[in-house]
């Protein structure tokens, strides 16, 4: 009996942060990439700690918040992603949300995806960043399949702290190609100099690595740019992901922005029962089961007929 040779492993490393506006705006493309490359790659997230918590408090928190809200809105004009109608404050630290997101990975990929999504939505939908352990845990309450008590214990564990510290260090060892980037993108993604004089990856950055080498794609990129790099290092061009109806997409993802539902579903929108959450830049659509446990549920418009 002849054995079938195993395909070489291709790793996708996504350098990200739960509270990063460019990473939030890249989610439509990343969700499509994950669906198209399922079974062909190993996808790993590195939490880079955008807000490191080492800075002195701002002399005028209200002015800083107003400036940052305008910055997020400017990014949203490029990405089409929602922004909060009112931002309460600039996040004090990315550590709590990153620890919770990393701890959620111990409960499986589906739970980890949903937890990270909720953490992103604290900033860009609710306007209240999950920048303390209590806020991060509260934001993910009711996530399907999540053991919240276990998450609380794991997020405070030495094991998860070591993992996020390793992520923090890895993000500050960028490949040379990102030290200088020439691109027409509104966010080319050249590595950022840190307060200590080192460099870290701009967010998001995707590194695709396989036996034939690696490709790095920093900053804001199109789906086709990513797909080309994936195809060069995988066994061939990426296939189209499974076609999902509006109802199927909302059931699968539970939470969709307008850019996401246009890229990930087909057919008439919204599906019956979809719950619309109005943001400062268009709606967020929730599956009714998600709306029943989502922190934004009290701010909803009526369900679709």
**Cα Dmax for the chain:** 72
By residue range, what is the domain housing residue 137? 10-240
157 and 258 part of one domain = no
Q: Is the dihedral of CA 34, 189, 94, 103 positive or negative?
A: positive
Query: Is 5 a domain residue?
Result: no
Residues 287, 166 within the same domain:
no
Q: What CATH number is attached to the domain comprising 99?
A: 3.40.30.10
Higher per-residue pLDDT: 302 or 253: 253
SS3 state of residue 173: coil
pLDDT in tens, 164-181: 999 999 999 999 999 999
Cα–Cα distance for residue pair 279/281, rounded to 1 Å: 5
Pair 28, 58 in one domain: yes
Residues 221, 259 within the same domain: no
Domain count, the chain: 2
Of the candidates 35, 59, 29, 30, the residue with the CA atom closest to the CA atom of residue 45: 30
pLDDT tier at 304, thresholds 50, 70, 90: low
Q: Which of 240, 258, 283 is the last residue of a domain?
A: 240
* 8, pLDDT greater than 90: no
Provide Rg for the chain, Cα atoms: 19
Residue 274: strand, helix, or coil: coil
pLDDT digits (tens, 9 = 90+) for 73-116: 999 999 999 999 999 999 999 999 999 999 999 999 999 999 99
Residue 1 structure tokens: 């009996």
In this structure, are 252 and 195 located in the same domain? no
Asked whether residue 186 falls in the same domain as residue 250, the answer is no
pTM attached to this predicted model: 0.95
pLDDT of residue 54: 79
- Relative to beta strand 205-210, strand 41-47 is unpaired
Whether 275 and 292 map to the same domain: the answer is: yes
**Which has the closest alpha carbon to 34: 238, 285, 290?**
238
Q: Residues 162, 289: one domain? A: no
Dump pLDDT digits (tens) for 203-260: 999 999 999 999 999 999 999 999 999 999 998 899 999 999 999 999 999 999 999 9
| Closest to 211 in 3D by CA, of 238, 178, 234, 227 | 234
**Backbone angles phi and psi of 215, in degrees to 5:** -130, 140
193 shares a domain with 233: yes
Q: Output the pLDDT for position 7.
A: 62
Question: Above 50 in pLDDT, residue 290?
Answer: yes
Structure tokens at 299: 């701010």
Same domain, 206 and 255: no
pLDDT the model gives residue 222: 97
Average pLDDT over residues 124-128: 99
């Amino acid at each position: 009996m002849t054995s079938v040779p195993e395909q070489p492993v291709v790793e996708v490393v996504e350098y990200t942060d739960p509270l990063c506006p460019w990473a939030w705006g890249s989610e439509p493309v990343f969700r499509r990439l994950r669906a198209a490359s399922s079974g062909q790659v190993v996808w790993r997230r590195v939490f880079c700690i955008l807000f490191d918590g080492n800075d002195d408090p701002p002399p005028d928190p209200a002015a800083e918040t107003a400036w940052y809200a305008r910055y997020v809105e400017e990014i949203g004009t490029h990405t089409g992603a929602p922004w909060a109608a009112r931002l309460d404050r600039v996040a004090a630290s990315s550590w709590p949300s990153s620890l919770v997101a990393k701890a959620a990975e111990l409960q499986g990929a589906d739970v980890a995806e949903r937890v990270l999504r909720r953490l992103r939505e604290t900033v860009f939908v609710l306007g209240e960043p999950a920048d303390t352990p209590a806020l991060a845990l509260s934001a993910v309450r009711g996530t399907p399949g999540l053991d919240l008590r276990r998450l609380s214990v794991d997020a405070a564990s030495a094991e998860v702290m070591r993992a996020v510290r390793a992520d923090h260090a890895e993000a500050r060892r960028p490949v040379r190609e990102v030290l200088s980037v020439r691109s027409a993108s509104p966010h080319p993604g050249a590595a950022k100099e840190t307060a200590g004089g080192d460099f870290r990856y701009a967010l998001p950055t995707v590194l695709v690595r396989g036996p034939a080498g690696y490709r790095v794609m920093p900053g804001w990129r199109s789906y086709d740019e990513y797909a080309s790099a994936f195809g060069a290092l995988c066994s061939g061009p990426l296939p189209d992901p499974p076609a999902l109806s509006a109802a199927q997409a909302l059931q699968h993802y539970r939470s969709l922005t307008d850019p996401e539902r246009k890229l990930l579903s087909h057919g008439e929108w919204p599906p019956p029962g979809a719950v619309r959450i109005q943001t400062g830049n268009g709606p967020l659509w929730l599956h009714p089961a998600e709306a029943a446990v989502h922190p934004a549920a009290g701010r909803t418009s009526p369900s679709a007929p």
